[in-house]
Structure formats: structure tokens, C-alpha cells
Amino acid sequence: MKNSKISAGLYKKNREKICSSAEKNSVIIVHSGYQYPRNADQFYKYRPHSDFYYLTGIEQEKSILVMCPGHPDEKYREILYILRPDEKMQIWEGYKLTREEASGISGINEINEIKWGNEFENDVDFLVKNKPPVYLNMPEKQNCEPVLSQDFNYSKILFEKHPLLRSIRLSTITTPNRLIKEYEELALIKKAVEVTGEAFKRVCRTTKPEMFEYEIEAEINYVFSKNGCGHAYLPIVASGANACVLHYITNREKCKKGDLVLLDFGAEFENYASDCSRTIPVSGKFTKRQKDCYNAVLRVFRKTVPLFVPGNTINKINQQVKQWLGEEMIGLGLFTSEDVKKQSSLAEASEDNIPENPLVTKYFMHGVSHFMGLDVHDPGSKDEPLKKGMVVTCEPGLYIKEEGIGIRIENNILVDEMPVDLMAGIPIGVEEVERMMGKSGD
């Protein structure tokens, strides 16, 4: 059951934006998404599809939003379909929304426009009879199985019945709008950031040599749960060389004295993400080498934050960061400037397509930024000029597998003429982190 602190005004504004971006007389269909099966008779915790949530604020499975922005009959302009609660369902699964409650959360008029789910298919058959363009929400990420998507499954039913319909990907109108955050959304992201910061401070106070990675994760879990948050993604707690596995999530090894531990974790509050990475010494003190490597990444981080201004692009920033990290890598003795020259003349002479800057890519193999919002990796093109009100990450890293050192420093940045570091309050400097780790537990 939603414990909503967000006014329906946000979702109304969002629907207005999407409808004014849509083609005239189109029909927009957005499903809330399934509750996915886990194994046997168990399910994963339900989480609505971000586009559906963005438009309605509803967190109940088997809900559908249909919008016909230009329809002459007002009652078809927005319709929300929800499950019709029955007594058995309520006993076994718990409380389901009434039409009145769904109206209160979403701001969609209760009288004509909130209906029970069984009316959906007939209504759409009627709404598409003149062959309007139909917006459908298709999976946009390559690794997301379309077969698992409720929107995709429904599209097959729709095209079977109405084969000549012209469809348009919903993301063409949701992505550009979702990228720019309303102040209500920023407040939710800031709350997620605040809880993430609390969790990091607790981790600093409790981490000790010989602790298992999952014990550190437990400290994060405690702070998140205590504050009504979940994880925006599976947390990474990677000690020693595990930190060089970019998506290490098993979190089951012992943290050894003298090793670093890389944390990449973020609270999710009311479905809005935060995304933070910190790297701390297990024993509370960085060694000389670790400190040199850490400060190299931190210098690049600090130089990068001011680049998130309107008009710049993530891809251009990536190029700049690779150059800066390359210089730091030379300073750390990972290769020489002679090696770099040799590399570029080899690339010029070769007919093969040699990846750009393989020396740098060996030690820094991911991008420095992505969009963030309802999804930790919010959709959006990295060639898209940044605009005021976008939220992105800034996350340079350095991974020296042969030395068992993996470092990533990541904060969330609000794009503006003077970019705002939303995580400026979370300890980041070597001395600051060491001081925090010196403190005894709660």
C-alpha cells in the first residue's frame, strides 16, 4: 500500500507533458507491469514500471493507463484501469486500492475515468477503430527480455486484432520529459541521497578487518529499511581485487586488513534512485599507494563535476575524463607517455579498428556518467546536450587488478550553469573518511 507523500499534481503535470508531446489524436497505452515470479509459488517484490509510475503514482500491479489527448469525448482523454478487489484476494494478498484512492493518488477523475481492469480490452478496441497512432511501451534496454513485459505481451494481442495499426515507441515522448526533473522529483532524489549518506557514515563507523562483505551490506540494509527505502539496484560491496569486477554483487568474501573495499549502493525513495560509490580502507587507514591512487581519482572527480553544464554531452565529458585519467595513470606509473605515443602510432599504422586509447581502457573501462531518476540508469542518449534540471552521475574510477586495487568515486549531480553536487555532504576526502572510520560504532 502506497504511503504517498507526493501530491497528485506531479502526476497530472507529467501526463500533461506527455500528452502535449504526443501526436494528435493518438492513443497512449501504458501498463504497470507484472509482479514477476521468483520460484515455485513465490514472487519478487512488486515494483511498477517507471513510465507508468511517472504518469500515475500508482504502485499496484495489473493497472493500465490509457490516454487519448485529442479525443472529442472528455471521458476518454485519460482512463486508469485497476484490479477489482475481491474478498479472497484481499485476504491472501492484502489490501487493494479502491477507485477513490486510485483517484486521490493519480489525480485522475474518479467518476468516469477510473475503471476496473476487465473493461480495458473492449475500450481499446473501440478507441482504435479509426486507426489512430498508438504509443506502446516497448523494452528499451537490450538485456531486458521483451517476453517478460506486460506492454509487449499486450501489443501482440492488439496487433492480432487490429493488424494495420501504426505504433510509436512510448519512450520517444517519455524519455525527454523524464530527463528533466520537477522540483517534487528532486526532493525525492535528495531524500534518497540523504539516506544513502547516512548508510555510508554507518559503514565507515562499523567496517573492520575480517568482516564479510555481506556484513557491510547489512549495515546499509539497516539504514535503508529504517528510513522506508529500498535499494535502487543490487549493492556492490567489493573488497580487494573483487572491486575490479564492475558488477560484483555476490558480496560474500572476507574483507582483509590492508585491502580497500569499493561500495556502490543507493537508496530508492518513493521509486526515485540515488547512486553512490565510495572506496574505503578496511582497516581505517589508506596505505601510501592506495592514497595516491584514490587522490588521483578524486582529482579527476573534482575537475569533472563543473563540466555538467547545459549544452555539454556525457560523451564529450567521457573523452575529457579519459584524457585526465590517462595523465593520472602515467603519474601512478601504470604506463609512460612513451607508451601512449607508441599506442597512437600503432593505431594509425594499423588497418584494424583498434579501440580508442587501450592503455586507459585497461584501467578505466566504464563511462563516467549516466542519467538518473526513477531508474538508476534513466533512459537518455549520451550525445544528448545536457539541460538544466537533469540529474546525472559523476563516477570516475581506476581498476588495477594486478595490485588488487579498485577505486570508484561517484556522486549525483544536478545539471545547471553551476552544477549542484547533491552528494556534497557525504564524506569523500581521504582524511574525512579516515576520521569517520576512526569513530566508534553507534
Give the interface with Mn ion as residue ranges (CB under 5 A): 275, 393
What sign does the CA torsion over 95, 99, 102, 104 have? negative
* Grid cell locating 336: 609512460
Nearest distance from residue 209's CB to Mn ion, in Å? 28
Nearer to Mn ion, 271 or 412 (CB): 412
What is the grid cell recorded at 185? 522529483
Query: Least distance to Mn ion from the beta carbon of 49, Å?
Result: 21
Would you say how long the chain is, in residues?
A: 442
C-beta of 83 vs 220, nearer to Mn ion: 220
CB of 41 to Mn ion, least distance (A): 35
Nearer to Mn ion, 229 or 391 (CB): 391
255: left (phi over 0), alpha (psi -120 to 50) or beta: beta
Q: Report H helices in 50-109.
A: 50-56, 87-93, 99-106
Minimum gap (Å) between residue 275 Cβ and Mn ion:
4
d(CA 266, CA 224): 9
Three-state DSSP class for residue 266: coil
Measured from the CB atom, the residue of 63 and 196 that comes closer to Mn ion is 196
Distance from C-alpha of 238 to C-alpha of 259, rounded to nearest angstrom: 10
d(CA 235, CA 251): 9
- Contact status, residue 255 vs residue 211, Cβ threshold 8 Å: yes
Closest distance between Mn ion and the C-beta of residue 389, in Å?
A: 19
Nearer to Mn ion, 99 or 370 (CB): 370
Minimum CB distance to Mn ion, residue 50 (Å): 16
Residue among 271 and 393 whose Cβ is closer to Mn ion = 393
Strand, helix or coil for residue 72: coil
**116 vs 29, 390, 424, CA distance in Å?**
15, 36, 46
Rg of the Cα atoms in the chain: 24
Minimum gap (Å) between residue 54 Cβ and Mn ion: 20
Strands 78-82 and 391-394, bridge-based pairing: unpaired
Cell of residue 152, nine digits: 509487449
**Nearer to Mn ion (CB atom), residue 59 or residue 375:** 375
Question: Is 29 or 300 the residue whose CB approaches Mn ion more closely?
Answer: 300
Q: What share of the chain is helix, strand, coil (3-state, %, to 5)?
A: 45, 15, 40
Task: Specify the residue, 81 or 265, whose C-beta has the smaller distance to Mn ion.
Answer: 265
At closest approach, how far in Å is the CB of 189 from Mn ion? 14
User: In the complex, what is the shortest distance from the CB of residue 214 to Mn ion, in angstroms, rounded to a whole number?
Assistant: 21
In angstroms, rounded to a whole number, what is the distance separating the alpha carbons of residues 361 and 409?
A: 17
